[in-house]
Structure 1
Amino acid sequence: MTVPASLRPVGLPRSPAPTVEALAARERMRRVAQLGVLSWATFGLVWGAVGARFMGLIHAATAATWFVALLVLRGGESDHRTRLSVHLTLGSGTLALLAAAHVTGQGAGVPLWYLVLVPFVGGLLGDRRAAIGWTLVATLGLVATHLLGRILVVPTEVEFTGTLVLLNQVLLIALTLLTAMALRSGTDAALRTVRDREATIEAQAAALTRSRDVAEAASRAKSEFLANMTHELRTPLNGLIGPVDLLRRTQLDDSQQETLAIIESSARALRSLVDTVLDFSKIEAGQMELRPTRVRIHRAIHETLRIFDGMAESRGIALTKNIDRQVPVLLRLDVTRFQQTLLNLVGNAVKFTRDGHVSVDITYDRGPGTLRVRVQDTGIGIAEDALPHIFEAFRQGDGSSAREFGGTGLGLAICAHLVELAGGAITVQSEPGQGSRFEFTWPAQPIYDAMQSAQDLQALTGTQLRVLVAEDEPVNQKVITMMLTRLGVTPTLVDNGPEAVALATDHDVVFMDMRLPGMDGLDATRAIRAANAGRPPWIIAATANATEHDRASCLDAGMNDFVAKPLQLTDLAAALERAAGGLSELEEGAPT
């Protein structure tokens, strides 16, 4: 079907059709082939008439080969057919020369020296393989002619001199010249066609570049408009949310409080939508930049995930969180954008899960310095055909999801852009009805130098923790005391298990050695758990027994965490950070 000109892209020239010169060159080749058939056949008849039957047969065979070449040319307009026809005529000429030399008794004569031109002509007609092939043909032909000259002697039928031989030679020269001229014209036409096509391609590329520039300019203008508009919308929204928050703190009846709650909820939802559009417009305009800062990552993650505790509980969903103890305390990253990505993925997981669970696992790869986050749910899942487009803007699993669960279709697109901007990667695996698993990596280098500052280290826990150290080795007591003091903590020391059990109730955190006199660390932990069922302290194993079996034994006995000796300042800081987060959850009634 021909596309109307009015519907073609503006500014894109058409590809050129075969040129008149190319068609004329092919027609000349066909006429040369016709002349060759007629000429070789005529001379075959003439030689037969004068009694030179062998020479007549040679010319007849050559005429037949030229006729085949003519049929090949008439079969189509492709360059392949043209090359094949020329190879046929070259082959027939070579064989005719060899046969004529044998018949005339000149198998070792001067005429056969002209066979050295055959590989040269074959190379011009084709590539290196063609040149090698014609070299083999000429060489084998010469060898065969020499051997036949010794084995099979053809009786002389006529004297090969005079006008007939001269005419035959002139014919061969004329056909060679005409063939060369036809090939040359075809080559010139092909080169002109190539140049025309190159010019067309360049024109198309220039037109596409202009179209792309126009589209990018329009996209930038749209993004700038959206960015300005969302900024303008935030001002009246802030003017609405702030006073509502103040009003809620005044003396209002239940009906008024309910009305204000609806206004506040709607205003915050609208502000969230405006922020989403603003972020997307910044990404489209290339104005989104990350601003890495020093972050207490454990606290940032706990604060982010705590938002969904109530939502998950109201939906009957189990929300589990696991932050690997290898995650450093201080990292350098853009915490706002990291939290935004985590919020979006966990929020989607909770929103699209009707029953079951949502799990969040966060680990750290110390090699490249990368956070790895996995969010897995047992929700509705994503259709297979939608997975390749799930991170595209304005795309959702299907229309029914948008109608039932809402959303703009921008959240995952923004997540993908933020992760890419940070230098990480995001992937998804999903099956309809079984749930989804999103994983992303976020490069974040640990900050060890800053942790040498007593002021920074003391601020890690956010509160003054009461710490008990159960350690019987004097050297180890001094080391851990110096480290904890550097962290802003003054510990209480005991050197046996019974004392650890007795004093545990008065402390928030207990560093417990496994090998203590009087009662080992495992039994002491069990005793503490039995005696403090209401609000147990956070117990951390601090021991040289660092195998996975030892760690499992500590956790089974009731310990909350594990640090291996020899202790390092960063390990203790991370353990205290985890302890502060765990104790905060216990105070709020969240599961540990």
Structure 2
Amino acid sequence: MRAEEKNILYRANLTSAPIWLIAMTLEYFIFDLAGHSPWWTAWLAACYGGVALRMGMSWLGLKKKTTLVHSLMIGSLVLCGSLFALPVLFVHPLSDPHMMFLIALVLSIATSGAHTLALSRIGLLFWVVPSFGSFIFRMATMPVELYPAYTMDLRVAMIIGCVLYGSLLILLGLGSARRIRHTQDLQESLKQANRENRRRAREAEAATSAKSDFLAMMSHEIRTPLNGVLGMAQALSQENLGERQRDQVETIIESGKSLMGILNDVLDISKIEAGKMEIDRAHGDLHQTLGSVHSLFQPIAHDRKIGLTLTLEDTLPQHARFDPVRVRQCLTNLMSNAVKFTREGEVAITAWAEPATPGLRLGEGAEAIVKVQVRDTGIGMDEEAMERLFKTFSQADGSTTRNFGGTGLGLAISRRLSRMMGGDIIAESKPGEGSIFTLTFTATIEAAANDAEDMQAETETSGGEALRVLVVDDIAVNRQVVRVFLEPAGYRVTEAADGAAALECLEGDSFDVVLLDIHMPVMDGYETIARIRASDASWATIPVIALTADAMAGDREKLLARGMDAYVSKPIDRRDLLRQLSVMERKSGQQNPSRQKLTGTA
């Protein structure tokens, strides 16, 4: 018998013992009236002792599941069943009513015992068989002269009924045992399934974590050499080049940006699947956001000799709270496909807004549904291609990648992002007639921004103040890229190959800002920024900009929480780096107007 079945049996004995004590006490009083007090007192004491033994063994069995305790428990059941049958065998009732009451009492207790003892076949048999056997014995041996009313036919009928009833109780008990065991098997299967599910969940979490770590590592490893390629190409584009050389440099830059786009798509879909992608709603200019995407594709459309139009309807608010980065990403993906698959004709962008709640006016503070429709006159798609359109790593047909390129991630990412922004992307298309994609997202209408600081953050520094910049990176190419970006802008650059060397530089000289890489030998960026901020030196508050290839979700926030003042991801964009330096300079000037430049000294 399994441990859980024993527990059920023990608990059943504990709960049913009081009923049996009451039945035995009633039986004692019945036969006490017959003048058998000494005999019945001893019998009742033995019954109480047997029940006490059952209860004690049941309680002990719930605490200590040993073979001895279980054997004593079964023995107590056999003892109690045998004691309960003794009155019928050895007592001569005075009248029929007493006998009938005794019969009813014996059968009722036998019924209770049959269901309670279902999990113990020995206990079940020794409770039911002695009770009904003693009754059958009394029916068969009852003197005719004392009870002439009990004819032989009546006795036979009662014996047969008793046998059938006892057999029925045994069958019911065995059936109850089977049901209990079946329930236990189901519960065990459920527990096993739950354990398996938890194990798989742990494995899935571990796999997700490993995938995230792998993607973070690959992102870092790819961005690091790509930083050198794009950085040097951007620096080269600032030189006096011939037309042919400038075209070649622009090709390098565009190819690098395309590679960055593929890398970002892979990272985005992984972040979305891992549940780490977040929508950052901020104040933005809808007209400017849509216009920037339109301007981005104008040269491409001109080269392909197709028209490109942008229509902003009157219902579209200019200023609203939304996620400009993700909206631009979704629209860029839609425009990229539209331009790529259109050989002739035009691509038209139309944008408008509708109230999120029908009947309300589109005013300041209202929630709006912004709709951006991209219509092209390209190759179009059939229904089968439409079904695969928004699936990850899927395109219209196998020749699409060969003819037009792409990973098949853009639309899948865009739809998921749009749904995270409270909208969706809907596609309509017919082969040879072009396609219509409608991007929707929610936005809160706001008044025009009046933040001069945000506008100034877009400007570059004049570079005439010769600020001293300490560049800390273990890869010489990355340091060289920063140098060729900053020196033409008027910055004085000092290089350090790790965090320990950076601390030596800070102790021996004064600097205005530190550009700090994160993953370095000897001393990494985390330990370096911790030592800088914990230092008692005057450079403990020097502005530090994280310059890292860590570009996964949450990396920026994690670095800022560690004490960084700003964050620039690799591959480094020259304008972004200069803009961050300009912001640092302006904030420092606001805190101390008498200072004309950033300084890391008192």
TM-score after normalising by structure 2 = 0.44
Larger RCO (alpha carbons 8 Å, 6+ apart): 2
